[in-house]
Amino acid sequence: MNLTDFHERFLAAMWFAGFALLCVAVMFHTLTMALRGIFLYVVLPIVASGIAGALCGGPIVNRAKTRTMSQSLLRGIAVAAAAFVIFSLLFALALPFIERGWSLRQSGGLLLLTSTLGILLAGPIVLSGGMLAGATLYLFGKVVSE
């Protein structure tokens, strides 16, 4: 069964968003949060992963573009890195509208803070999740294409 480019991108978007949900659930499963915290720390990473999966995760499903498991792992890391960048931008832009005491003029500093601390604190989970999502999507694509 051959998938169109749109279907590959859509599948990758949903696949990476699902794995982002799993990673977020692992990180925050014991915490109670306000609704705005859920939006910032649960919804935004899932949306960012879906966007990154749609932008650069589609080739993982295609056998002509991703031939080996190691290529799928590297593409999974690339999608996870792109998702982290997208999340950092979304977070820096959304926080002033959701939390009191922040303004849009501080978004540049928020972006730098989110990027720096996010790499240190969530980087290993993000990269591991990206590798796992890339590998499983590759295996799923292998089963679908046969």
pLDDT in tens, 2-19: 778 899 999 999 999 999
> How many domains does the chain divide into?
1
Helices 69-98/5-28 angle, 10° precision: 60
Distance of alpha carbon 8 from alpha carbon 71, whole angstroms? 16
Angle at CA 34, nearest 5°, toward 127 and 43? 35
pTM score, whole prediction = 0.91
The pLDDT averaged over each successive group of 10 residues in the chain (146 residues) is 84 96 86 88 95 95 89 96 95 92 90 91 91 96 80
Report the candidate in 146, 141, 142, 143 with the shortest Cα–Cα distance to residue 8: 141
Q: Check: CB of residue 11 under 8 Å from CB of residue 144.
A: no
Domain containing residue 63: 5-145
Cα 107 to chain centroid, rounded: 21
